[in-house]
Amino acid sequence: MEFLGIDFSGNVRSWRGSRATSNVWVCRVKYDSDSRPFVTELTSVQHLAGGGPPFRRLANLLAGGQFSAAAIDAPFSLPSRYVPEEGWLKLLELVDALSLDPAAPFPGAQSLIALAQTMSRLDCQKPLRQTEKLWSDRRINVRSTLWWKPRGGAPFAAACMKLLATARFPPCWPWSNQTEGLVVEAFPAAQLWSWKLPLQRYDGRDGISARQEIIRGLETRINLGRFRETAEETADALDAVISSFAAIAAFRGEAKQPGAEGALVAREGWIAVHP
């Protein structure tokens, strides 16, 4: 079985083909139930195989479905009241139809917010989905999918939903029970919290000791092999590795199940976390 973990970005600069230090990374993991998962590839999106710009290459990878499950560290949906009556797939179609920002492969955050306001007035500055409230209640910083200023999640949500549409609407958890080519929402901070590992301040030069501690905790769960140094060098590569566990958990039916009303989850989606 093969799984993907994808660390994501809503910043258009991160997707430029010429970008030398990308913060969009893809981790490929091989796994069977008789052994520890092991990393077979850990690369920036600029170095993915295939033709076309990086965003298109990643969309083609997801559309191909040549994996058991893939997890993306980005929101798949909006709070329920901002999802159209027809459901989540209709929301993806509406996002797909939005005008693109100049030189960007996805619509801007403010276009997404304007779309949401055609369905309901914003009831607060930073509305959260139920799955985000769960982690916020545990004192984990979450991004609102309808906030575009610093620490906003709207750029991530707009880019991710456009990616899913560009990938020809692959089966996504928890909406689909399909067992091959499943795409899953990940949240590395929630995963690290569940494992009682550091979940803050592990980015950049000052975060090296925290990354090393996380990697020591990971090595009982996954064989990083020759990619250990890459995961140690950049938090974005490390987050891609961590995200792969959300894919494994959803595929194996081991993801923490939504504790919210089923109809709400069917509109908002849910973050998969490995137990």
Which pLDDT tens digit goes with each residue over 65-86? 999 999 999 999 999 999 999 9
Q: Is residue 118 part of a domain?
A: yes
Is 228 a member of any domain? yes
273 falls within a domain: no
Is 171 inside a domain boundary? yes
CA distance 101 to 85: 27
Q: Number of structural domains, the chain? A: 1
CB atoms within 10 A of CB 92: 20
Residues of the chain scoring pLDDT < 50: none
Tens-place pLDDT, residues 198-219: 998 999 999 999 999 999 999 9
Provide the residue range defining the domain that includes 96. Answer: 2-268
- Does the residue 220 lie in any domain? yes
Report the chain's terminal Cα–Cα distance, integer Å: 19
**Confidence at residue 260, expressed as pLDDT on a 0 to 100 scale:** 67
In a domain, 274, yes or no: no
Strands 2-7 and 25-30: antiparallel
Tokens of 20: 């030398």
CA distances from 82 to 74, 192, 272 (A): 18, 29, 22
Whether 217 and 210 have beta carbons less than 8 Å apart is answered as no
Q: Tell me 30's DSSP state.
A: E
- Would 184 be classed as within a structural domain? yes
Instruction: Give one DSSP letter per residue of 164-190, joined into a string.
Output: HHHTT---BTTT---SSSEEEE--HHH
Any domain includes 275: no
CA distance 179 to 38: 21
Residues sharing a CB contact under 8 Å with residue 266, sequence separation 6 or more, in sequence order? 87, 88, 174, 175
Peptide bond into 174 cis (omega under 30): yes
Residue 53, CA distances (Å) to 25, 28, 58, 166 in order: 15, 20, 9, 13
The candidate with the shortest Cα–Cα distance to 263, out of 53, 57, 87, is 87
